[in-house]
């Protein structure tokens, strides 16, 4: 029986789970912000704290990557997955920040719908993470397919939202603000799909 003189550093999986737990908390806060919009200022501050906590986990992953000789996954895959998880949270945080900056008073049904799509994608990411260390290929790929399907829903919502915006005869400045907000949210759905793409590559490579 063979043995490794230098064991693989398995704590990367713990850190990815920690990052996805933080991301899930942020996604649920994002949905709550849309549903109880009068608390947007406080929620934006909380979202900023979660974004900082997420950054700390990502920095820990990168630091560990630099000092670990044998990693459980390809180094590039670890780096890409950490960056992709970070991006999803960054775009949620950027959106809530702009709600405050632009002094948005009321939320639209399209924004609520988009937030729900992001949260559902993050739920799928959260389900994947514990399975990643065991490389449960079939289960993981099913979650990835669902994340991709949800991203398509995000695209559709963005198209409908922007069309409604131009049909509304709203103040041009409000149109500009809302278009940017919708695009930030849709980018968060794209970034969630990026997470799925990286994970698909990892799973297929390690099958």
- CATH number, domain of 26, equals 1.20.58.220
Question: How does the average pLDDT of the chain come out, rounded?
Answer: 93
Taking every pair of Cα atoms in the chain, the longest distance, rounded to a whole number of angstroms, is: 74
Q: Is residue 35 part of a domain?
A: yes
Q: Is residue 120 part of a domain?
A: yes
Give the dihedral sign, CA 109/110/114/115: negative
Q: Is residue 135 part of a domain?
A: yes
Q: Is residue 6 part of a domain?
A: no
- E-assigned strands of 19-130? none
- Show the domain range for 154: 11-205
- Tokens 């969630």 locate to 192
Q: Is residue 2 part of a domain?
A: no
pLDDT tens digit string along 55-71? 999 999 999 999 888 89
pLDDT tens digit string along 26-51? 999 999 999 999 999 999 999 999 99
Q: Is residue 181 part of a domain?
A: yes
Q: Is residue 93 part of a domain?
A: yes
pLDDT over 70 for what percent of the chain? 96
Q: Do 82 and 153 form a contact (C-beta atoms < 8 A)?
A: no
Which pTM does this prediction carry?
A: 0.93
Tally of domains within the chain: 1
DSSP-derived secondary structure for 31-58: HHHHHSGGGHHHHHHHHHHHHHHHHHHH
Q: Is residue 1 part of a domain?
A: no
Q: State yes or no: pLDDT of 198 exceeds 80.
A: yes
């Amino acid at each position: 029986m063979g043995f490794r003189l230098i064991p693989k550093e398995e704590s990367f999986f713990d850190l990815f789970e920690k990052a996805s737990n933080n991301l899930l908390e942020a996604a649920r806060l994002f949905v709550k912000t849309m549903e109880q919009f009068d608390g947007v200022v406080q929620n934006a501050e909380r979202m900023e704290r979660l974004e900082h906590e997420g950054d700390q986990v990502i920095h820990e992953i990168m630091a560990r990557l630099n000092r670990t000789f044998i990693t459980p996954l390809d180094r590039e895959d670890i780096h890409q997955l950490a960056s992709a998880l970070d991006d999803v949270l960054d775009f949620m945080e950027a959106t809530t920040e702009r709600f405050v900056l632009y002094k948005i008073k009321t939320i639209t049904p399209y924004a609520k719908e988009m937030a729900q799509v992001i949260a559902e994608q993050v739920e799928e990411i959260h389900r994947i993470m514990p399975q990643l260390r065991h490389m449960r290929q079939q289960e993981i790929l099913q979650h990835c397919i669902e994340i991709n399907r949800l991203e398509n829903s995000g695209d559709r919502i963005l198209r409908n939202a922007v069309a409604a915006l131009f049909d509304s005869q709203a103040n041009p400045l409000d149109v500009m603000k809302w278009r940017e907000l919708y695009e930030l949210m849709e980018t968060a759905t794209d970034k969630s799909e990026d997470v799925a793409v990286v994970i698909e590559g990892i799973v297929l490579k390690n099958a």
